[in-house]
Amino acid sequence: MSFADTVRLDTDRHQLWAAITDPETLATCIPGAESVERVSDREYTCEITRSVGRVAVSLRGEAQLVEVHPPDYVVTRGSAFDSKTGSDLEVLAAMELQEADDGRVALSYSAEV
């Protein structure tokens, strides 16, 4: 499954970059995230719980920042596993931050799940 979008935010690139690389802030942006922890400058661990109807998964995983160009661009690769259902998840995501003509920041993101 692929998805992509661009949103315009009332902030500057440096503040937005700080937010998307901060584990506490990042956790508030991920639906179902119970925790996101920084392991190193380029590695994070996470726990995510999601339900769809009667099916619930509790994923534990990790993510690596595989390409980083602060405060403009980041590519992240992640994987997670639910031991109860045997479900696993792989994701490759990219985010690009650009100054928009209206003074805001355009955050473009894409992901392959």
Residue pLDDT, tens place only, 15-71? 999 998 898 898 898 889 999 999 999 999 999 998 888 888 899 999 999 999 999
Long-range CB contacts for residues 11-15, cutoff 8 Å, separation at least 24? 11/104, 11/105, 12/105, 13/71, 13/72, 13/97, 13/98, 13/99, 13/105, 14/71
Give CA–CA dist 86/14, Å, rounded: 39
In the chain, what are the domain boundaries? 2-112
Task: Report pTM.
Answer: 0.85
Specify the CATH number for 2-112; select among 3.40.50.1450, 3.40.50.720, 3.30.530.20, 3.20.20.70.
Answer: 3.30.530.20
